[in-house]
Amino acid sequence: MIRIAPSILSANMCRLEEDVKRALSAGADMVHVDVMDGHFVPNITIGIPVVRSLRECCDAELDVHLMIRDAERYAPSFVEAGADIVTVHVEAAPHLNRVLTSIRESGGQCGVVLNPATPISSVSEALEISDMVLLMSVNPGFGGQRFIGRSLERISKLKMMIEERGLDIPIEIDGGIDPGNAAEVVEAGADVLVAGSSVFTANGGDVENNIAALRSAAMLGSQRRGR
Ligand code: DX5
Ligand code: ZN
């Protein structure tokens, strides 16, 4: 089953609860929270208090994507605030094993994120201690960017590495995902689709139809993957 994870970066922060609940009622499977610190990426977004508030207002799985320089210092606090899974960039975590382990020890699931130009092999030594791998299909920092086509090959390559090891780790793809490319990314091996602008702002913010369109593209992709 392919999961759809709307990114609240494109939601209206004045009515965040309403937007999140609307996406969940429309069939979203989890909520993707983009945390940016203005250092690792050139943008500043939201942090621990917002995760805590989201945890209080919804039961859905909270998928927290840390785009921060000091991930090791803050990751456990996101789990304590209510994150179900916390993903950290390999480019921002020199002590990757330590930070992933600390997330699990705090009671959360952990994942590794790779930027578009970071070799797939850089996740190799951390695969066995990861619950998910997130591949960026844009350079992180902003919503609404265009999908980088090369990401398709990267998904296939990572999928192969996971299968060769006999592991069962979902691949999440993030950046520029819309109904026009969702089938292809799923066919290549993606299991979780992050989508911000194509859920909350496309087509005048018609969240229900936007999620339905992503869902049918994802189903087409998984049928193609299966044969
Ligand atoms: C980008 C973020 C993404 C972003 C996706 O740095 O990690 O999650 O919000 O937005 P869209 O789907 O609009 O590319
Ligand atoms: Zn993200």
Domain residue spans in the chain?
A: 3-225
User: Which of left, alpha, beta for 179 (phi over 0: left; psi -120 to 50: alpha)?
Assistant: alpha
- What is the atom index within ligand 1 of the atom nearest the CA of 141? 6
* 227 pLDDT higher than 90: no
User: Which of left, alpha, beta for 144 (phi over 0: left; psi -120 to 50: alpha)?
Assistant: left
pLDDT tens per residue across span 177-210: 999 999 999 999 999 999 999 999 999 999 999 9
pLDDT tens per residue across span 108-155: 999 999 999 999 999 999 999 999 999 999 999 999 999 999 999 999
Exactly one of 34, 63, 131, 191 is catalytic; which is it?
34
CATH of 3-225, one of 3.40.190.10, 2.60.120.10, 3.20.20.70, 3.40.50.720: 3.20.20.70
pTM of the model: 0.98
Res 98: pLDDT: 98
152 contacts 188 by C-beta, under 8 angstroms: yes
End-to-end CA distance of the chain: 15
Q: Separation of 116 CA from ligand 2 center, angstroms?
A: 13
